[in-house]
Amino acid sequence: MAKGQIRQSLSGYYDIFSEGKTYRTRARGNFRKKGQTPLVGDYVEFKADNENEGYVLKILERKNQLVRPPVANVDCAIVVTACIEPDFSSNLLDRQLVMLSENEIVPILYFSKSDLMDETTKERMLPVFDYYSKYYRTVVSEKNMADEELVSALFEEAGNVLVVMGQTGAGKSTLLNRLDPKLKLETGEISKALSRGRHTTRKVSLMDVKGHLIADTPGFSSFELREIEKERLSSLFEDFNEYSPQCRFRGCLHLNEPDCAVKAAVLEGKILESRYENYKLFQKMIQEQKPRYKR
């Protein structure tokens, strides 16, 4: 029995990388009985008589997993956010950041299409870039930025397994093509991928880009907040953590409590108002959700 990492899945086959070799394997039937599906990024135990015939025997414990793209044990996510076309959505960005923080995935923010901004858009977006860059690694796309410069800006201190995510039309495929021209992804491919049926065969693989493993399947990853408890939500906002220790009440939800340091920071312009408005909206969504009971 050997251990390795699944680097590609295709039509029920799993390509496992182990000690410098790749083994093509299938999953044992007992995974289906247990309701388990091996994912790209999984560390597994497997048995193989040769490099073309083997079986996945056990999925080792995951630290996290994403639904779209279906990848496990993700270290970093490059969150592609358009400055314009489509217009910047602070709600979507903050929702993605909350989900990534909950899954202990380090976000790298990539603001695309900055060269298309007019003066009015620049006036609105420049404070956004400045603010988010205080708390997250932030890269703003520049028309004259060389590919090598972009790679080093995104991958500096990045982890081993990365995914690229963001809203449709934000430029995920364009970015992936710049990071690895061999991909030749078509622009607009993501929207086609999202409309595919759930059971349609789809290849997912991790490719080596400058020493990092990056999923070649960009994903949107729409996130529900139902798994997050209302008491935990504020800790997933990096900027809130700077002020919450000064709140009068321990466990302050930063909503109606008196002497709330987070609300004071919003009033003083230290926390972006859009961040706080999104936080309140997420709290409302969490508290209005009906509880789900396990069958």
Query: 171: annotated binding-site residue?
Result: yes
| Cα–Cα distance list, 75 to 57, 59, 101, 155 (Å) | 24, 18, 11, 12
Q: For residue 171, what pLDDT is reported?
A: 84
Q: Give the 3-state secondary structure of residue 71.
A: strand
The pLDDT profile of the chain, 295 residues, written as one tens digit per residue, is 899 999 999 988 999 999 999 999 999 888 888 888 999 999 999 999 999 999 999 999 999 998 888 999 999 999 999 999 888 999 999 999 999 999 999 999 999 999 899 999 999 999 999 999 999 999 998 877 787 888 888 887 777 899 998 887 888 888 888 888 777 766 554 444 444 434 344 788 998 888 899 988 777 655 667 778 999 999 999 999 999 999 999 999 999 999 999 999 999 999 999 999 999 999 999 988 766 555 4
Give the distance from CA 187 to its chain's centroid. Answer: 20
Query: 5: annotated binding-site residue?
Result: no
Query: 170: annotated binding-site residue?
Result: yes
Q: For residue 280, what pLDDT is reported?
A: 97
Q: For residue 15, what pLDDT is reported?
A: 96
Q: What are the DSSP calls for 175-211, one per residue?
A: HHHHH-GGG-PPTTHHHHHHTS-TTS---EEEEEETT
Residue with tokens 């923010």, as numbered in its chain = 109
Q: Omega into 86 within 30° of 0, i.e. cis?
A: yes
pTM for this structure? 0.86
Query: 199: annotated binding-site residue?
Result: no
In angstroms, the CA 60 to CA 4 distance is 10
Q: For residue 290, what pLDDT is reported?
A: 63
How far does the chain reach from its first CA to its final CA, in angstroms? 36
Query: 260: annotated binding-site residue?
Result: yes
Query: 159: annotated binding-site residue?
Result: no
Q: For residue 176, what pLDDT is reported?
A: 86
Q: Give the 3-state secondary structure of residue 5.
A: strand
Query: 29: annotated binding-site residue?
Result: no
Query: 254: annotated binding-site residue?
Result: yes
In angstroms, the CA 283 to CA 193 distance is 31
Residue 184's region, left for phi above 0, alpha for psi from -120 to 50, else beta, is: left
CATH numbers and ranges of domains, the chain: 2-59 (2.40.50.140), 76-215 (3.40.50.300), 230-288 (1.10.40.50)
Query: 188: annotated binding-site residue?
Result: no
Query: 48: annotated binding-site residue?
Result: no
Query: 200: annotated binding-site residue?
Result: no
Residue with tokens 């809203």, as numbered in its chain = 167
Residue with tokens 């251990």, as numbered in its chain = 3
Q: For residue 199, what pLDDT is reported?
A: 38
Helix runs in the chain, H state only:
30-34, 90-102, 119-135, 147-155, 172-179, 189-194, 230-233, 261-267, 273-288
In angstroms, the CA 81 to CA 69 distance is 17
**Residue 24 in contact with residue 35, Cβ under 8 Å?**
no
Triad 35, 224, 87: Cα angle to 5°: 135
Strands 204-209 and 2-10: antiparallel
Q: For residue 31, what pLDDT is reported?
A: 86
Query: 72: annotated binding-site residue?
Result: no
In angstroms, the CA 103 to CA 124 distance is 30
